[in-house]
Amino acid sequence: MSQTSGTDFKDGWWRDATPHLSPHAEPRLNTVEIDQIVIHAISLPAGEFGGPHIHALFANTLDCDLHPAFAELRGLRVSAHFLIDRRGLTTQFVSIDERAWHAGVSSFGGRAACNARSIGIELEGCDSTSFAPAQYESLSKLLVALVGRHPRIRASRIVGHADIAPTRKTDPGPHFDWIRCRRDFICGMLSGV
């Protein structure tokens, strides 16, 4: 059953994203309402940008022999709903009507297993580099569209992976500008972009 309607999303797929299907997904429970967004950062190999490897990892097509650092990714089954690359281009891997596997062991506000209630957005990036202006612009548009679809998401529930899994994760990292993110988001909500 589709939970989405209107023009921004069709069956949970955003019109402004390029679809790239991931098998790493599962149905949501109809009783669980989406009220959280988790922002991540990823680069493959770490610190390198622009390659096809993140898409391949999420699509379960990554050749783990391509790079020594990929050995630890063998058998890893992860995904996110969205990836925003360094150019600001947005790819969608999982319908927002389904759970993506991005949060792992996590908790927020006393609730565990954040995949159940959240939408995961990956930014192509790492802990040591600033994100690109185009990424913030695309993120703002995506956040506004998601809140339009799921109004229970509030600015205070747009969090980082490090906020929900602080002993395991650091992303989106110290270079992610939360003030800019929230300012752009609020401006976007007010202007209706």
Task: Please identify every residue annotated as catalytic.
Answer: 122
Residues 184, 147: contact at Cβ < 8 Å? no
Give SS3 for 145.
Answer: helix
Nearest residue (CB) to Zn ion, 12 versus 120: 120
Nearest residue (CB) to Zn ion, 9 versus 106: 106
Return the beta strands (E) in the chain as ranges: 9-10, 13-14, 18-19, 25-27, 36-42, 82-84, 90-92, 98-100, 107-108, 111-112, 118-124, 158-160
Nearest residue (CB) to Zn ion, 81 versus 161: 161
We find the least distance from the C-beta atom of residue 171 to Zn ion, in angstroms, to be 4
We find the least distance from the C-beta atom of residue 169 to Zn ion, in angstroms, to be 5
We find the least distance from the C-beta atom of residue 161 to Zn ion, in angstroms, to be 3
The single-letter code of the amino acid at 150 is H
We find the least distance from the C-beta atom of residue 39 to Zn ion, in angstroms, to be 8
Nearest residue (CB) to Zn ion, 83 versus 147: 83
The binding site for Zn ion (CB under 5 A) comprises 40, 161, 171
- Between CA 23 and CA 18 the distance in angstroms is 16
The Cβ of residue 31 has, within 10 Å, a number of other Cβ atoms equal to 5
Q: Which of 36, 150, 138, 33 minimizes the C-alpha distance to 84?
A: 138
Nearest residue (CB) to Zn ion, 44 versus 188: 44
- Between CA 98 and CA 11 the distance in angstroms is 10
At residue 109, φ and ψ (nearest 5 deg) are: 60, 30
We find the least distance from the C-beta atom of residue 69 to Zn ion, in angstroms, to be 16
- Between CA 134 and CA 153 the distance in angstroms is 23
